[in-house]
Amino acid sequence: MEELDGDPAVTLIPGVNSKKKQMCFDWGPGEMLVCETSFNKKEKSKLVPNCPFIFIIRKDEDVYSQILRKLFNESHGIFVGLQRIEEELTGKSRKAQLVRVSKNYRSVIRACMEEMHQVAIAAKDPASGRQFSSQVSILSAMELIWNLCEILFIEVAPAGPLLLHLLDWVRLHVCEVDSLSADVLGSENPSKHESFWNLGRLDEARQMLSKEADTSPTSAGMCRTLGDLMRTMPILSPGNTQTLTELELKWQHWHEECERHLQDGTFTSSPHLETLCKIMLGDEAALLEQKELLNNWYHFLVTRLLYSHPTVKPMDLHLYAQSSLDLFLGGESSPEPLDNILMAAFEFDIHQVIKECSIALSNWWFVAHLTDLLDHCKLLQSHNLYFGSNMREFLLLEYASGLFAHHSLWQLGVDYFDYCPELGRVSLELHIERIPLNTEQKALKVLRICEQRQMTEQVRSICKILAMKAVRNNRLGSALSWSIRAKDAAFATLVSDRFLMDYCDRGCFSDLDLIDNLGPAMMLSDRLTFLGKYREFHRLYGEKRFVDAASLLLSLMTSQIAPRSFWMTLLTDALPLLEQKQVIFSAEQTYELMRCLEDLTAGRPVRGEPDAQRLQDDDIETTKVEMLRLALARNLARAIIREGSLEGS
Amino acid sequence: FDFHGRRMATCSSDQSVKVWDKSESGDWHCTASWKTHSGSVWRVTWAHPEFGQVLASCSFDRTAAVWEEIVGESNDKLRGQSHWVKRTTLVDSRTSVTDVKFAPKHMGLILATCSADGIVRIYEAPDVMNLSQWSLQHEISCKLSCTCISWNPSSSRAHSPMIAVGSDDSSPSAMAKVQIFEYNENTRRISVEEFIPRRTSSSLGAKEVHLEEDLYDKKLVLIMLMYLTIFFSANYMDNWKCTGILKGNGSPVNGSSQQGNSNLSLGSNIPNLQNSLNGSSAGRYFFTPLDSPRAGLRWSSHTQLLPPPPPLPPLVEHSCDADTASLQYPHPRRRYLSQPLNPLPENEGV
């Protein structure tokens, strides 16, 4: 591949003195930060005033304008549709379906173009009007290129139909330019009627001729002859059953007849009609004289082909194209990027087309979608690039990556990554983590996408980020649910601890709904299980199901689920149960409770230097312990009596 | 920028750090500004959001500090202000601390600093919820004044923890170079490899260093920044080309603050930072005249994990012209026993 040469563009940053200072920068998802700095890390004794600004460098924003967004959205639909029907595309209908997809893409471009054109006309200030108009131009060029690619590569029109397609192609764009420019200029193209014959619409031309014949009797005869010639010009029409050879023969005869008329001087008295005849013979000089009516070299090319080589073969197109280009430019100007792209297409050099388009258009949209379509037509060799991917994937990846910088278009990007078998997944993994999650809705959307693709690490990371944010903002319920979704046991433990601390401080739970409905998620961590069960204890107590509550409470301690630090609280919770009129804890259970209490008090480390606060705390502790001991003892007594008597009876 | 590109932190020789938030409409607002050190603050860096909103800064005052944002009162929120508190100060360095960087998140909450006396220190906070407890895990002597560090971002098992340290020591015995330290978890030893750019006629030395992982073939790419202007390069089908240059024009800045971006957007000058439908130079009817058709060469994303951003452009003296001589790496010299580093590309398309 030949080198892309040319000098890089230079952008000047105002206020930064590159001779004395340096610049530092940082890349962001959609923009770049630049500021002046000094890498000289020695503290300066006198501060030289610096440029105090940070510059944000960004590409043109217009790419995400409303109208283009529609283009991206709709083409995304077509793209996904194409990938999905790939398996079904077989046999004869395959080509027809691919052509249909191509036409869909083009109609989307045209719709976008039309809309932007309307905006351009309606624009209040001339600068933005110009900007929109330039966008329209670019879209028009894209459609032009795509259309040609469709004819040559997808439709693969053979000699004969090829010319008809090319005629349509040129007509579409000439009329477009005319109508667009007419709108903008507000005037009618005065030579429109002459352009009819330019495009082979000979019927209309004949009508003009007959009108002329009526008005000027002297040239009536010539007009009629010319009109006849026009009428009898053999062209291939769709549905025509003649073979190419037949057509060629007929055409040859007709051509000779025209030639004869010219030689015989039939039209000498009217130079205007003579020119017309010459043109119909495909005389290049005559055609070139009408240069102003021919907008561009490919218009010239097709006209020329129409009148001199209507049965041109696809293989030979490039020869005529090159010479048309040369003749039309006439050495006065050099070909422009669009010209080069079209030439590459005529030469059937697909890779060159894609490459030139990539250079000429600073957007990946066009080349990504076109290449993908051509790939489905099996036209791209697996042009393996060193990093193991291929051209189609490379372009799609680049396009999709760009979408991720946008706050809503990123969702389209996901699908494009999905259809890149080599690097799509890993690219998606990297991009999706960076999406800023400003709203819960967006976060859920992102998570759903990750979960659908089993991107467990990304799910974990995103949930962790959200859980952490929630904890910092003291939204414990939210933090808990994110940790559960992240399956992050450690963090769930942490949040549960916070809940418990909260309870100790305030005497009640926050986010009861969440805790009540944990379900199997409770198993994620011991602490979480404890939290859930503890809450259940409170619920049972509230429902006055004291016996169940009591057993649960005990089991929490004996099963070691409850953290040691919480035992005192649990035992204190047991107090009201012990004080009830009826006996709730059995003797067995009471023994257990006693053991827990002793365990707890025995394990108390010997306090160091007691200070006033400590003494006070100790006092409270001691009182509590004593109360518990008393309550337990009393309960034990009652329990033994009760159990004794039951057994007795 | 922070991880998501929605917040920005800046530091300055006025000893303060400022944090800026990007609003929904795209404007930047300063939401915090506070004095952080008693000397110029050289660098500020964000931790991964999994650890919360955490910043680290380092300064000429020989310290590095870790800061955490705390959720303020609702009044503050309404006024759009937030508060940052210092969680710890790392005072081990005896000289100016020139760079501070958090390690990739899969390694835990780990921080590295480098100092002018050539010592790299690696700290760890074992409890991520308690940012006041950091322990010094490693002290590495580079034997050269250090200016910049970069962690290997790769989270794959194949790569052991690795850090690159750049130096601009211009003493005659030393040479500006980059050292890469790798920690072998099995042997618990740290090995080092060195890279010296061939053209060291300028005494600029390494000012910035970046270790990036090449997504496509998993190679590590080492990038050094050693020049006075900023180059962009982009990868078109594996050929690196310089596609843009930013440089200061030295003119005084006008007084107005540039919140909007119309003055500064690159527009057609550097067409390829992002997608746009601008076409190239004038076609008669279909392209409007714009400058430089540099399309197709796209900057890679800021994640720095896709095809790597600028590789080594050549050393530039005080002019801003791109000099296309290439940067060669001598075969890396090994000092201690270590696992082989992935081979670094020798002459990557520059």
The C-alpha atoms of residue A461 and residue A139 are separated, in whole angstroms, by 41
Among chain B residues, CA nearest to A428: B306
- Give pLDDT tens digits for B210-230: 666 555 544 455 555 443 333
Q: How far apart are CA B26 and CA B22, in angstroms?
A: 6
Q: What is the pLDDT of residue A388?
A: 36
Region A421-441: mean pLDDT is 90
The confidence score (pLDDT) of residue A62 equals 53
What's the rounded Cα separation, in Å, for the pair A369 and A355?
14
For residue range A132-151, list pLDDT tens digits in order: 888 888 999 999 999 999 99
**What is the rounded CA–CA span in Å between residue A223 and residue A230?**
10
C-alpha span between A454 and A185 (Å, rounded): 57
Which of the residue ranges A126-140, A261-275, A456-470 has the most confident prediction, judged by mean pLDDT?
A456-470
Q: How far is CA A86 from the centre of its chain?
A: 21
Pick from A1, A27, A46, A115 the residue to mutate for testing the B interface (most B CBs within 10 Å): A27
A11 against A44, higher pLDDT: A11
Tell me the shortest Cα–Cα distance from B327 to chain A, in angstroms: 19
How far apart are the C-alpha atoms of A302 and A296, rounded to whole Å? 10
Angle at B249 between CA B246 and CA B252, to 5 degrees: 130
Residues in chain B: 350
Percent of chain A with pLDDT over 90: 22
| CB within 8 Å: A431 and B303 | yes
Widest Cα–Cα separation across chain B = 68
**Which has the higher per-residue pLDDT, B55 or A557?**
B55
* Whether pLDDT at A2 is above 90: no
Q: For residue A578, what pLDDT band results from cuts at 50, 70 and 90?
A: confident
Bridge partner residues of B233 (DSSP)? B242
Residue with the larger pLDDT of the pair A18 and A479: A479
Give the pLDDT score at A361: 82
| B201: amino acid identity, one letter | S
Contact assessment for residue A457 and residue A429, using Cβ atoms and an 8 Å cutoff: yes
Contact call for B288 and A133, based on CB within 8 A: yes
pLDDT at A192: 40
**What does the pLDDT average to over A153-173?**
88
Report residue A239's pLDDT band, with 50, 70 and 90 as the boundaries: low
Select the residue from B147, B155, B213, B285 to test the A interface by mutation, using most A Cβ atoms within 10 A: B285
Its pTM stands at 0.77
Q: In terms of pLDDT, which residue wins out, A598 or B302?
A: A598
The backbone torsions φ and ψ at residue B166, rounded to the nearest 5 degrees and listed phi first, read -105, 155
**Which residues make beta-bridge pairs with B51?**
none
Nearest alpha carbon to residue B338 among B110, B200, B197, B180: B180
Between B315 and A569, name the one with better pLDDT: A569
ipTM score here? Answer: 0.79
**Position with higher pLDDT, B59 vs A619:** B59
Reported as a pLDDT band with limits 50, 70 and 90, residue A612 is low
Chain A residue nearest residue B227, CA to CA: A22
Q: Tell me how far apart the alpha carbons of residues B211 and B150 are, in angstroms, rounded to a whole number.
A: 6
If you average pLDDT over residues A103-109, what whole number do you get?
96
Give phi and psi for A265, each to the nearest 5. 80, 25
Of residues A416 and B190, the one with the higher pLDDT is A416
Beta-carbon contacts of residue B203 (< 8 Å; ≥ 6 apart): B168, B170, B176
Tokens of B105: 């998140």
Is the minimum CB–CB distance between B172 and chain A shorter than 8 Å? no
- Kindly tell me if the per-residue pLDDT of A191 is higher than 70: no
* Sign for the pseudo-dihedral over CA of B216, B217, B219, B224: negative
Q: Which residue's structure tokens are 């693709």?
A: A453
> Which residue among A68, A430, A464 sits closest to B305, beta carbon to beta carbon?
A430
Closest listed residue to residue A63, CA positions, set A487, A409, A325: A409
pLDDT score, position A292: 72
Beta bridge partners of B222: B211
Q: What is the pLDDT of residue A82?
A: 93
State yes or no: pLDDT of A373 exceeds 70.
yes
A627: helix, strand or coil: helix
CB distance from B74 to chain A under 8 Å?
no
**Contact call for A29 and B60, based on CB within 8 A:** no
pLDDT band at A124 (very low <50, low <70, confident <90, very high): confident
Nearest to A41 among B24, B105, B147 (CB): B147
Query: Do A67 and A115 touch, CB atoms closer than 8 A?
Result: yes
Residues 6+ apart with CB under 8 A from A84: none
Are residues B285 and A465, on separate chains, in Cβ contact within 8 Å?
no
Element (H, E) at B207: none
The C-alpha atoms of residue A37 and residue A21 are separated, in whole angstroms, by 6
Q: Round to whole Å and give the CA distance between A278 and A271.
A: 10
Per CB-CB distance under 8 Å, the chain A contacts of B298 are 364, 398, 402
Count CB atoms within 10 A of the CB of residue A230.
19
pLDDT at A5 over 90: no
Beta bridge partners of residue A34, listed in sequence order: A25, A55
Q: Which token pair is A529? A: 């299980």
Summarize the confidence of residues A307-315 as an average pLDDT.
87
Quick one: angle between helices A364-376 and A126-149, nearest 10? Answer: 10
Average pLDDT, chain A: 81
**Tens-of-pLDDT digits for all 350 residues of chain B?**
999 999 999 999 899 999 999 988 888 999 999 999 999 999 999 999 999 999 999 999 999 999 999 876 666 666 678 899 999 999 999 999 999 999 999 999 999 999 998 899 999 999 988 999 999 999 998 888 888 898 888 776 666 788 888 887 666 555 567 788 888 777 777 777 766 654 433 344 556 666 665 555 444 555 554 433 333 344 334 444 555 666 666 655 444 333 332 222 222 222 222 222 222 211 122 222 222 222 222 222 222 222 333 333 333 222 222 222 222 222 233 233 222 333 333 322 22
The highest-confidence range among A12-16, A74-78, B179-183, B323-327, by mean pLDDT, is A74-78
Chain B residue numbers with beta carbons less than 8 Å from the beta carbon of A362 are 271-272, 275-280, 293-296
B262 reaches A (C-beta below 8 A): no
The nearest alpha carbon in chain A to B206 belongs to A39
B300's enclosing H/E stretch is: none
pLDDT of residue B234: 40
For all residues of chain B together, what is the average pLDDT?
64
Does A125 touch chain B if contact means CB atoms closer than 8 Å?
no
Contact between chains at B238 and A361 (C-beta distance less than 8 A): no
Question: Can you give the pLDDT at residue A167?
Answer: 87
